[in-house]
């Protein structure tokens, strides 16, 4: 891997970690830590009603990691000198986005049927990163 690719991968890993952290900030969204430590959920839900602007701020925090991921990949694509690699990365990002949208639609349908919430931001980010990485490796393998 080139230094540009290595730097971009480190940035994407940090963004994935940021995605996990932002999901743990929102106490009403179920996550594995709440199931393991029921006292933690009680501690986070102790607060009284929040103001409208605080709710909007917390909701918008979950969008930041995905926007950062798109920004990092845009910077990588602008700096990548090899046009073939740029094309592969662009196609991989499109496949990752498609997998995230399909997974989101599937989980939304399940949430409506079973009436049980699920942290969609973690699912979307995981599917986006996983789908992009796997499709990039598959396309590299196909074109060799």
Q: Is 118 left (phi over 0), alpha (psi -120 to 50) or beta?
A: beta
pTM over 0.85? The answer is: no
What does the pLDDT read at residue 42?
A: 62
Domain boundaries, the chain: 3-143
Cα distance between residue 61 and residue 83, in whole Å: 34
DSSP 73-95: HHHHHHH---HHHHHHHHHHHHH
Hey, how many other C-beta atoms are within 10 angstroms of the C-beta on 83?
8
Residue-wise pLDDT for 67-86, tens only, equals 888 888 889 999 999 999 99
CA of 29: how far to CAs of 32, 61, 119, in Å?
A: 10, 14, 6
């Amino acid at each position: 891997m080139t230094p540009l690719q290595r730097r971009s991968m480190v940035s994407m890993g940090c963004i994935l970690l940021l995605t996990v952290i932002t999901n743990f900030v929102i106490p009403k969204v179920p996550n594995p830590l709440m199931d393991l430590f029921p006292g933690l959920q009680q501690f986070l839900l102790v607060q009284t009603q929040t103001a409208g602007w605080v709710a909007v701020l917390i909701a918008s925090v979950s969008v930041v990691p995905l926007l950062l991921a798109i920004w990092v990949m845009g910077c990588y694509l602008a700096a990548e000198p090899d046009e073939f690699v740029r094309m592969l990365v662009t196609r991989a990002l499109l496949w990752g986005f498609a997998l995230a949208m399909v997974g989101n639609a599937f989980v939304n349908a399940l949430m409506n049927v079973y009436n049980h919430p699920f942290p969609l931001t973690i699912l979307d980010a995981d599917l986006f990163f996983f789908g992009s990485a796997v499709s990039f490796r598959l396309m590299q393998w196909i074109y060799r």
